[in-house]
């Protein structure tokens, strides 16, 4: 399996709910409100919501402020908390419960440093860390020496999973100085590219992210490379992605690479290729 998926079992553990978050104390929620503003907006007026900031405020991303993610301070166990929990399980965010020496502003500043990272190509990449799939991939693929620096100020982090559970992440205190600048490695970049595909495969097959075969993820990536990205098309190819032997899959790739075909036409041709193997 891809390295970052293999790391999941080492860095986090599964939980059926958020009972590990201490009721009555504060929890922080990172919310991707842009994807569903009509669902997220009522959260601001619910009992238990203490404060919130927009994470793009005061950063080079401030022109995107209205579309930017929120960071909310919410009382664990409150009406607002249960609402936020449901929103997160719709792939709209994740939660943490930081230590007492951290506040809303310090956590906001910590996260703001992660939205734009130097990439392996000499440029900069925008990181959608408000999305659970992306944040999960980053936490699983970041080098161990950096992982503790990223996670330690947040203390206990919980990310939703494709199968309705939660992944609980926690790191020991850093043992080395923090790098002057955070940056993407090639492995982190690859994990981000695979994260959406892995999430979709987990939902469709019922397999935990950490149990997904490397071959399935790579094959789904090939489909996306050739323009097959819609769920209804990918669903038609799922059996081939899971079951095709190497020779059959090579013929499928040859079909995928035929120029001037639409995604629908490619999907139909691949089905014919696999059915006639």
pLDDT at 62: 77
72-78 average pLDDT score: 96
- Distance CA(267)–CA(107), nearest Å, equals 45
User: Residues 6 or more apart from 180 whose CB is under 8 A from it?
Assistant: none
pLDDT above 90 (res 219): yes
> Kindly report the CA angle at 171 between 20 and 91, in degrees rounded to 5?
60
234-247 average pLDDT score: 92
Q: With contact defined as beta carbons under 8 Å apart, do 67 and 45 qualify?
A: no
> Kindly report the CA angle at 150 between 5 and 113, in degrees rounded to 5?
115
- Distance CA(248)–CA(215), nearest Å, equals 13
- Distance CA(158)–CA(218), nearest Å, equals 27
**Banded model confidence at residue 79, pLDDT cuts 50, 70, 90:** very high
pTM of structure: 0.92
The DSSP 8-state label assigned to residue 92 in this structure reads I
pLDDT at 54: 94
Cβ–Cβ contacts within 10 Å for residue 218, how many? 14
> CA torsion, points 240, 246, 248, 252, in degrees to nearest 10?
70
The DSSP 8-state label assigned to residue 52 in this structure reads E
pLDDT at 178: 80
pLDDT above 80 (res 2): no
**Banded model confidence at residue 276, pLDDT cuts 50, 70, 90:** low
The per-residue DSSP string of 208-273 comes to -GGG--HHHHHHHHHHHHTT--SHHHHHHHHHHHHH--HHHHHHHHHHHT-TT--HHHHHHHHHHH
Q: Which two tokens stand for residue 59?
A: 């950063």
**Banded model confidence at residue 45, pLDDT cuts 50, 70, 90:** very high
Tally of CA atoms within 13 A in the half-sphere of 44 that contains its CB: 12
**Mean of all residue pLDDT scores within the chain:** 91
User: Residues 6 or more apart from 74 whose CB is under 8 A from it?
Assistant: 26, 27, 28, 29, 48, 49, 50, 80, 81, 84
Q: Which residue has the tokens 């965010």?
A: 93
pLDDT at 171: 84
Q: What is the pLDDT of residues 189-218, one digit of tens each?
A: 999 999 999 999 999 999 999 999 989 999
- Distance CA(145)–CA(117), nearest Å, equals 17
pLDDT above 60 (res 1): no
Q: Which two tokens stand for residue 218?
A: 């790579």
């Amino acid at each position: 399996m891809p390295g970052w998926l293999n790391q999941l079992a080492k860095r986090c553990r599964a939980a059926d709910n958020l009972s590990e978050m201490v009721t009555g104390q504060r929890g922080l929620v990172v919310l991707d409100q842009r994807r569903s503003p009509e669902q997220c907006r009522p959260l601001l007026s619910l009992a238990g919501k203490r404060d919130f900031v927009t994470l793009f405020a005061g950063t080079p991303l401030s022109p995107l402020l209205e579309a930017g993610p929120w960071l909310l301070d919410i009382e664990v166990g409150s009406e607002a908390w249960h609402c936020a929990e449901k929103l997160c399980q719709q792939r709209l965010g994740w939660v943490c419960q930081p230590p007492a020496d951290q506040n809303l502003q310090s956590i906001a500043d910590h996260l703001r440093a992660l939205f734009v990272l130097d990439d392996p190509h000499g440029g900069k990449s925008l990181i959608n860390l408000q999305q659970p799939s992306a944040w999960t991939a980053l936490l699983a693929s970041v080098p161990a020496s950096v992982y503790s620096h990223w996670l330690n100020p947040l203390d206990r982090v919980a990310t939703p999973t494709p199968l309705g559970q939660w992944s609980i992440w926690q790191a020991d205190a850093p043992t080395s100085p923090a790098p002057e600048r955070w940056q993407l490695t090639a492995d982190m970049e690859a994990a981000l590219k695979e994260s959406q595909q892995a999430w979709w495969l987990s939902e469709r097959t019922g397999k935990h992210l950490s149990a997904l075969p490397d071959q399935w993820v790579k094959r789904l990536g090939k489909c996306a490379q050739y323009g097959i990205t819609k769920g209804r098309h990918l669903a038609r190819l799922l059996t081939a992605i899971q079951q095709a032997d190497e020779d059959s899959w090579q013929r499928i790739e040859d079909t995928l690479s035929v120029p001037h075909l639409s995604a629908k036409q490619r999907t139909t041709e691949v089905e014919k290729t696999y059915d006639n193997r």
